[in-house]
Amino acid sequence: MTQNENNDQSNINDSSPHSGTRYWGNVEVIEEGESYRISRIEIKPRHSIKPQIHYHRNEHWVVVSGVAKVTCGEEEILLNRNESTYVPSATLHKVENPGQIPLVILEIQNGEYLGEDDTERPYDLNLVKPGSES
C-alpha cells in the first residue's frame, strides 16, 4: 500500500469516539478530517436528539430516508428524503423523527473546532426549563 493509499484509508474512521449507539439511535462516522466530519445518523421512530448549540462548527443535514422534523432557531420544518437544511453555528437546533420508520440523515460538520466540548445543551444554558421540552 502506498503512503497516499494509507492516508486515504485513515480518513475512514470506524473506531471514532463519535460513533456509537445512543438512546435515540446510532451514529457512524464515515469520514473526518481536521475541519470536517461526515456522519450517518439513524434516529429511531418517535425519538429525537436533544436541543443543542455548537459555537465553532456549522452542520448540513441531508435526509436519506424517513421524515425529519428540524428545529433551527425559531424555525421548524419537515424534511423528506432528498431534502436538506443548514444549521449555522451558535444556533439552537434539534432533529426529531416523528414517523414510524427509522430516520437516516447524513450530517456534514464543518468548522474550526469539532470537539464534543463545543456542544451545549439548553438545560446547561437555562434556555429551556425542565418539563417544557416536548
> Is 6 domain-assigned?
no
Residue 87, Ramachandran bin (φ over 0: left; ψ between -120 and 50: alpha; else beta): beta
- Edge-first strand listing for the sheet containing 36-43: 20-22, 25-32, 36-43, 103-111, 57-65, 84-87
Q: Sign of the C-alpha dihedral, residues 7, 13, 16, 18?
A: positive
CA distance 44 to 34: 30
How many domains is the chain built from?
1
Query: pLDDT > 90: what percent of the chain?
Result: 69
**Residue-number span of the structural domain to which 121 is assigned:** 20-125
pLDDT category at 1 given cuts 50, 70, 90 is: very low
CATH number (domain holding residue 66): 2.60.120.10
Q: What is the pLDDT of residues 79-101, one digit of tens each?
A: 999 999 999 999 999 999 999 99
**Inside any domain, residue 132:** no
Residue-wise pLDDT for 41-76, tens only, equals: 999 999 999 999 999 999 999 999 999 999 999 999
